């Protein structure tokens, strides 16, 4: 064999071996599995998966499924599977298949053995101490946090019809409105995943800045008629003069529309995102709203902490969480309460470590039926977990699902007015009778992957971008988040496809 042929053969062999190893690496690029209760075989949602001695981890999703990047791990690394009230299990990465199952055994501590010199306090007293010690346990610090957020919205429209009563807006007519209504799908679903950095300074509401790293969105069909509607109203609002304004009116109720310039002075052209992007400021406002739940300040959503008269509490026992003992307390509502669930509270600091709760059977949230408007909050389920870092507890993850039923059967008017002495003049008006009934469910999950304390100057140095790129897809695939830390998608999310509609 010539020297040249030998070089070619050697190169071919190396390329073949490289392809083999690459294929092998791709087949084992992830670790996936499901976590179950050993006794009941029920999946354990939101269990902690931690790689020991590394700041790497995840949580199982609502179905107990989990996912880890194999490329981040060595065969000698140890993965710990933790669920409060259960024995922890540890595995060497090298001993695991790419897909495997974990069974955890329930383990409660007898509190009489823990409190050698006295009895533990009663359950209601423990709950009251959670609120009393809240400010000390959840300290507000400047920080940079890498976070994965998943948002899901589902709407089922049961009734949708309109009857045009009055119209002086030439760009709109009855036929256009009816054509648009016919094309709106009666079932709407959207998913959006975002991995990014959240910067906080003084508190989680006013100081938030967002650095989006990757956003993937699975959304419903686009409807050209709706886009046309949007452009019509955008043009109408842009033509509003200084002494003119718009308001929405239904019956004796009316609300003036705020269509002024952006508070930062941005014009419409500067704040309008491109086709494959979205406004970061708008998305940041959503994150602020979602994080309000995690502040434990809402006395309605955290009623079982703030109004103990409405609940019966049962101290089941204790457990260990990250080196500290916790009380395990179940609660059920009395006649006035809404929720049923379980909380885990530190025996030393009285910090709420974890809570899992939902509406009790037959219970609802806000509920009113008045003047043709109906609204009922008929579903609520939440889970939240805090992790101790130094002398404070930081949010590790939360999941919240809210469902509601909304109905409307009344006249609605959009009116353009001009200010003048005594009575403002009506310039344009469109009035319709709307009959709408829709059932909605909104869920949000957030997993805090990394936490780093920062100074005020570091916070001020970061400049939030105007827009973030969005990858729009028709169906979820593993390749979308290959190499990124995420919450494992549910089976329903994997199987869902964007609707195909023929008009």
Looking at the structure, tell me whether residues 136 and 96 fall in a common domain.
Answer: no
Is the distance from CB of 35 to CB of 83 less than 8 angstroms? Answer: yes
* Domain annotation covers residue 118: no
Apex 481 CA angle, 271 and 389, nearest 5: 85
Specify the pLDDT at position 84: 80
CATH code where residue 23 lies: 2.60.40.1120
pTM: 0.78
Domain that holds residue 102: 3-107
* Domain annotation covers residue 463: yes
Q: How big is the chain by its Cα radius of gyration, in Å?
A: 27
Q: Which has the closest alpha carbon to 488: 34, 70, 74? A: 34
Apex 42 CA angle, 290 and 405, nearest 5: 40
Backbone angles phi, psi at 125, to 5 degrees: -65, -40
* Domain annotation covers residue 293: yes
Kindly state the tokens that stand for 16: 């073949």
* Domain annotation covers residue 375: yes
Q: Which residue has the tokens 């869902």?
A: 496
Q: Cα(303)–Cα(307) distance, rounded to whole angstroms?
A: 6
Looking at the structure, tell me whether residues 193 and 67 fall in a common domain.
Answer: no
Specify the pLDDT at position 341: 97
SS3 79: strand
Looking at the structure, tell me whether residues 102 and 138 fall in a common domain.
Answer: no
190 Cβ contact partners less than 8 Å away, ≥ 6 residues apart = 151, 152, 153, 217, 218, 219, 220
User: What single string gives the DSSP state of each residue in 251-313?
Assistant: TTEEEE------TT---HHHH---TTEEEHHHHHHHHHHHHHHHTT--TTTTHHHH-GGGEEE
Q: Which has the closest alpha carbon to 448: 218, 144, 89, 214? A: 144
Looking at the structure, tell me whether residues 101 and 189 fall in a common domain.
Answer: no
Specify the pLDDT at position 85: 80
Q: Which has the closest alpha carbon to 445: 240, 117, 193, 67? A: 193
Domain count of the chain? 2
Kindly state the tokens that stand for 115: 């409190």
Looking at the structure, tell me whether residues 144 and 29 fall in a common domain.
Answer: no
- How does strand 352-359 pair with strand 367-370? unpaired
Domain end marker among 54, 73, 107: 107
Q: What's CA 345's distance to the chain center, in Å? A: 24
Specify the pLDDT at position 276: 80
Looking at the structure, tell me whether residues 307 and 445 fall in a common domain.
Answer: yes
Specify the pLDDT at position 166: 86
Q: Which has the closest alpha carbon to 312: 334, 329, 328, 327? A: 334
Looking at the structure, tell me whether residues 18 and 100 fall in a common domain.
Answer: yes
Backbone angles phi, psi at 281, to 5 degrees: -60, -40
Looking at the structure, tell me whether residues 410 and 311 fall in a common domain.
Answer: yes
Specify the pLDDT at position 223: 59
* Domain annotation covers residue 125: no
Looking at the structure, tell me whether residues 47 and 188 fall in a common domain.
Answer: no
Is the distance from CB of 91 to CB of 82 less than 8 angstroms? Answer: no
Specify the pLDDT at position 221: 60
* Domain annotation covers residue 122: no
DSSP summary character for residue 119: P
Looking at the structure, tell me whether residues 95 and 155 fall in a common domain.
Answer: no
Looking at the structure, tell me whether residues 383 and 295 fall in a common domain.
Answer: yes
CA dihedral (181, 251, 364, 401) in degrees, to 10, reads 40
pLDDT per residue, tens digit, the chain (503 aa), is 555 454 445 444 444 444 444 333 333 567 888 999 999 999 888 888 888 887 677 888 888 898 887 777 888 899 999 888 888 899 998 888 888 899 999 877 666 655 544 566 899 999 999 999 999 999 888 899 999 999 999 989 998 888 888 888 888 878 888 877 887 888 888 889 999 999 998 655 568 999 999 999 887 666 566 677 677 778 888 888 888 888 888 877 778 877 654 445 444 445 566 678 889 998 999 999 999 999 999 999 999 999 999 999 999 888 888 778 899 999 999 989 999 999 999 999 999 999 999 999 999 999 888 888 899 999 999 999 999 888 889 999 999 999 999 998 888 888 888 888 878 888 888 888 888 899 999 999 999 988 888 988 999 999 999 999 998 888 777 777 777 777 777 776 776 665 554 44
* Domain annotation covers residue 501: no
Q: What's CA 60's distance to the chain center, in Å? A: 15
Looking at the structure, tell me whether residues 168 and 60 fall in a common domain.
Answer: no
Specify the pLDDT at position 19: 42
* Domain annotation covers residue 37: yes
């Amino acid at each position: 064999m010539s020297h040249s042929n030998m070089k070619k053969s050697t190169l071919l062999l190396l390329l073949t071996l490289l392809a083999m190893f690459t294929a092998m690496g791709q087949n084992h690029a992830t670790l996936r599995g499901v976590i179950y209760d050993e006794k009941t075989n029920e999946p354990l949602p939101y269990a902690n998966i931690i790689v020991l001695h590394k700041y790497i981890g995840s949580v199982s999703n609502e179905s107990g499924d989990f996912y880890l990047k194999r490329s981040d791990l060595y065969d000698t690394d140890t993965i710990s599977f933790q669920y409060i009230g259960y024995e922890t299990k540890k595995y060497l990465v090298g001993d695991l298949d790419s897909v495997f199952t974990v069974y955890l055994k329930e383990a409660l501590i007898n509190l009489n053995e823990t409190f050698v010199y006295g009895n533990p306090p009663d359950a209601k007293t423990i709950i009251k101490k959670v609120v009393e010690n809240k400010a000390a346990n959840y300290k507000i610090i400047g920080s940079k946090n890498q976070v994965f957020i998943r948002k899901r919205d589902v709407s089922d429209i049961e009734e949708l019809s309109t009857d045009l009563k009055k119209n002086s807006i030439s760009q709109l007519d009855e036929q256009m409105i009816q054509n648009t209504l016919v094309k709106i799908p009666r079932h709407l679903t959207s998913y959006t995943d975002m991995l990014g950095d959240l910067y906080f300074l003084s508190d989680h509401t006013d100081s938030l800045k967002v650095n989006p790293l990757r956003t993937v969105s699975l959304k419903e069909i686009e409807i050209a008629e709706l886009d046309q509607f949007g452009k019509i109203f955008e043009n109408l609002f842009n033509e509003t003069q200084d002494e003119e304004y718009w308001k929405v009116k239904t019956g004796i109720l009316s609300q003036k529309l705020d269509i002024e310039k952006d508070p930062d002075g941005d014009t419409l052209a500067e704040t309008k995102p491109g086709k494959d992007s979205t406004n970061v400021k708008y998305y940041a406002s959503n994150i602020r709203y979602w994080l309000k739940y995690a502040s434990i300040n809402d006395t309605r959503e955290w009623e079982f902490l703030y109004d103990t008269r409405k609940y019966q509490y049962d101290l089941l026992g204790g457990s260990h969480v990250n080196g500290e003992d916790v009380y395990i307390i179940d609660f059920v509502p009395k006649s006035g309460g809404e929720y049923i669930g379980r909380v885990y509270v530190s025996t030393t600091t009285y910090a709420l470590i974890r809570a899992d709760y939902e509406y009790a059977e037959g219970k609802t949230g806000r509920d009113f039926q008045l003047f043709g408007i109906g609204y009922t909050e008929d579903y609520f389920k939440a889970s939240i977990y805090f992790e101790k870092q130094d002398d404070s507890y930081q949010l590790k993850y939360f999941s919240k699902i809210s469902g509601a039923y909304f109905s409307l059967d009344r006249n609605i008017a959009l009116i353009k007015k001009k200010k003048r002495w005594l009575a403002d003049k009506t310039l344009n008006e469109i009035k319709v009778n709307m009959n709408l009934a829709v059932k909605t469910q909104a869920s949000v999950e957030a997993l805090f992957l990394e936490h780093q304390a920062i100074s005020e100057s570091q916070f001020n140095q970061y400049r939030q971008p105007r827009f973030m790129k969005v990858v729009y897809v028709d169906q979820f695939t593993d390749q979308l988040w290959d190499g990124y830390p995420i919450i494992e998608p549910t089976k329903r999310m994997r199987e869902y496809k964007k609707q195909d509609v023929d008009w």
